């Protein structure tokens, strides 16, 4: 008789054999070049991750660009910037186009390069030589020059914050043609050449006068970073805080606290109201995890009104979490690799927010909007926890993130659901996909358990949310298995579409008009 262990009949559809190993050494499925590029664009910050360094990420992206059509690269760059709110990766993709398809680069340039920071990123990447050139070239130089010529004074001044390259470096490279005497003086001021002070924009004139201690001490309406090195009074700090942008307020709460901004009760209420203002939150394109980070980092002496405002802002920033039908399960990877900073390691700019914080935040949002949803944190097994749907999103997220540690078996929640014969309509797995503790000889354990679950729940849908830029997955994408990448609030829109049977992530990217 044939060996029944080898030839035992399995319930459900045939499970595809794994065709790759992931970075942790476990069996996995290789993503298509298109899917891998999309994931790298939505999650990759070109920093070191738990299993891969920055150079490896860069090499992978460049290899993928050589395998997919240039039109897809252009669409992915637009998606990564406009929906994923990424910075480095869209600039890299645009630089690749500048070298390999200048017409497409020109077509999407303004949609990707939407502020001075992105302009400097693009120039930095292009001149580094990683895409095959070290000079800007005629067409990119013209595009950069046009951006400078169309930008207003405020945009130019904001773009001038930062180095490597500085905006002054870029002006020297492309030689923009001043439209008038004011712009000519502004360019000269930027690059340190002689200029006619009376021709400078009024805002720059006020800034120069303020530095000299002239006038009544009124703080000019400039970006926060122009002013912090100057000796400022408490009243001036309060003026800065009052006029600061939403993101500047969010990022500098502890700084404002140190300089006495919150000693003014009326101003404290004003700042709290601004932080919780729905219009400002959406305009700022705030990542939900940034609000979690601000709340976690806030000093214990922070006024309660500010803390409450951050929680209110979180509820607004995650308001597009979908209402899902039927039995919903959210599986949250709390294994050791999820300790990795969500945007990766880079000396001097590593975020305090980890992958597990973002995964827990997504789960808490789903739980808040869908109170009956079951949350299953897992490492090599499902961890027991009780989540109160009435707690704030921040409280729920911190409770889940506190469980972090251990090995990784992405199949663990599916195995438990199968053991319980649980009914499932939508299963969401939030992970870095580096499963290794459940490796088998042929297919991934996750895909095997999913096939078994589908026998019992034939209409169930699996949504895999990936938080890190790796080219493998534990599942094979299909009609009922959808892959989503990223950590902006766009994840909630993609989740809603996936749960409702709408176009998947790659189809949305492919539908972007050029």
Spans of all domains in the chain: 30-202, 233-317, 320-510
Can you list the pairs that 389-395 forms with residues at least 24 positions away whose Cβ atoms lie under 8 Å? Answer: 392/311, 392/314, 392/315, 393/311, 393/314, 393/315, 393/318, 393/361, 393/364, 393/365, 393/368, 394/291, 394/292, 394/295, 394/310, 394/311, 394/314, 394/364
Question: Six-digit token pair at 214?
Answer: 């002239």
CB-based contacts of 259-267 (< 8 A; 24+ apart in sequence): 259/232, 259/234, 260/234, 261/234, 261/237, 262/302, 262/303, 262/306, 263/234, 264/238, 267/238, 267/241, 267/242
Tokens at residue 213, please?
A: 């201690």
Q: Quick check: 380 and 336 in contact, CB under 8 A?
A: no
Q: State the pTM of this model.
A: 0.88
Distance CA 439, CA 28 (A): 9
Distance CA 364, CA 358 (A): 10
- The tokens describing 503, both together, are 């176009």
Q: Name the DSSP letter for residue 341.
A: B
pLDDT of residue 347: 66
C-alpha span between 333 and 379 (Å, rounded): 6
Of 498, 503, 512, 443, the closest CA to residue 474 belongs to 443
Asked if the peptide bond before residue 58 counts as cis, ω within 30 degrees of 0, the response is: no
| Fold for the domain defined by 320-510 | Rossmann fold (3.40.50)
Point out the residues of the chain with pLDDT beneath 50.
1, 4-7, 9
Within 10 angstroms of residue 211's Cβ, the number of other Cβ atoms is 13
Distance between CA 74 and CA 233 in Å, rounded? 48
Dmax over CA atoms of the chain, in Å, equals 98
- Report the distance separating Cα 450 and Cα 142, nearest Å: 52
Give the count of beta carbons closer than 10 Å to the beta carbon of residue 299. 11
pLDDT number for residue 135: 84
Closest CA to 210 of 239, 174, 172, 245: 239
Tell me the angle at which helices 288-297 and 304-317 cross, rounded to the nearest 10 degrees.
Answer: 160
Comparing CA positions, the residue from 192, 366, 176, 373 lying closest to residue 288 is 366
Residue 56 bridge partners (DSSP) = none
Is the separation of the CB atoms in 96 and 58 below 8 Å? no
Q: What is the DSSP letter of 390?
A: T
């Amino acid at each position: 008789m044939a060996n029944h262990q080898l030839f035992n009949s399995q319930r459900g559809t045939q499970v595809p054999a794994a065709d790759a190993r992931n970075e942790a050494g476990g069996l996995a499925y290789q993503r298509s070049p298109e899917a891998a590029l999309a994931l790298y664009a939505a999650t990759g910050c070109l920093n070191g991750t738990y299993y891969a360094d920055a150079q490896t990420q860069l090499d992978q992206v460049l290899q993928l660009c050589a395998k997919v059509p240039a039109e897809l690269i252009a669409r992915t760059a637009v998606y990564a910037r406009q929906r994923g709110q990424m910075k480095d990766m869209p600039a890299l993709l645009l630089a690749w186009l500048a070298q390999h398809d200048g017409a497409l680069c020109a077509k999407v340039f303004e949609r990707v390069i939407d502020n001075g920071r992105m302009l400097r990123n693009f120039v930095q990447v292009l001149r580094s030589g990683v895409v095959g050139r070290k000079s800007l070239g005629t067409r990119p130089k013209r595009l950069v020059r046009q951006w400078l010529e169309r930008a207003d004074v405020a945009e130019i001044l904001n773009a001038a914050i930062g180095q490597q390259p500085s905006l002054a470096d870029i002006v020297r490279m492309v030689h923009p043609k001043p439209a008038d005497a004011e712009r000519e003086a502004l360019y000269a001021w930027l690059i340190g050449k002689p200029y006619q002070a009376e021709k400078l924009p009024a805002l720059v004139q006020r800034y120069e006068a303020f530095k000299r201690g002239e006038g009544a001490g009124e703080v000019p309406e400039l970006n926060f970073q122009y002013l912090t090195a100057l000796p400022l009074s408490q009243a001036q700090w309060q003026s800065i805080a009052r006029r600061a942008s939403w993101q500047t307020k969010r990022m500098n709460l502890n700084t404002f606290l140190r300089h006495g901004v919150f000693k003014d009760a009326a101003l404290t209420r004003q700042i709290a109201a601004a932080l919780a203002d729905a219009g400002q939150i959406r305009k700022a394109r705030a990542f939900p995890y940034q609000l979690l980070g601000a709340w976690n980092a806030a000093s214990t002496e922070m006024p309660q009104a500010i803390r409450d405002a951050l929680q209110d802002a979180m509820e607004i920033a995650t308001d597009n979490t979908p209402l899902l039908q039927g039995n919903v399960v959210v599986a949250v990877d709390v294994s050791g690799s999820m300790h990795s900073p969500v945007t990766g390691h880079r000396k001097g700019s590593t975020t305090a927010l980890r992958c597990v914080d973002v995964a827990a935040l997504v789960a808490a949002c789903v739980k808040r909007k869908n109170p009956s949803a079951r949350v299953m944190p897992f490492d090599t097994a499902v961890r027991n926890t009780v989540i109160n749907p009435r707690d704030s999103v921040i409280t729920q997220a911190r409770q889940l993130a506190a469980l972090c540690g251990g090995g990784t078996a992405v199949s663990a929640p599916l195995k438990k659901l199968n053991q319980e014969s649980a009914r499932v309509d939508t299963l969401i797995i939030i992970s870095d996909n580096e499963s290794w503790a459940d490796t088998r000889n042929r297919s991934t354990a996750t895909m095997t358990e999913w096939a078994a679950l589908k026998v019992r729940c034939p209409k169930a849908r699996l949504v895999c949310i990936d938080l890190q830029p790796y080219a493998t997955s534990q599942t094979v994408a299909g009609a009922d298995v959808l892959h989503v990448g990223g950590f902006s609030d766009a994840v909630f829109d993609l989740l809603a579409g996936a749960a409702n049977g709408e176009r998947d992530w790659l189809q949305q990217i492919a539908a972007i008009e050029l």
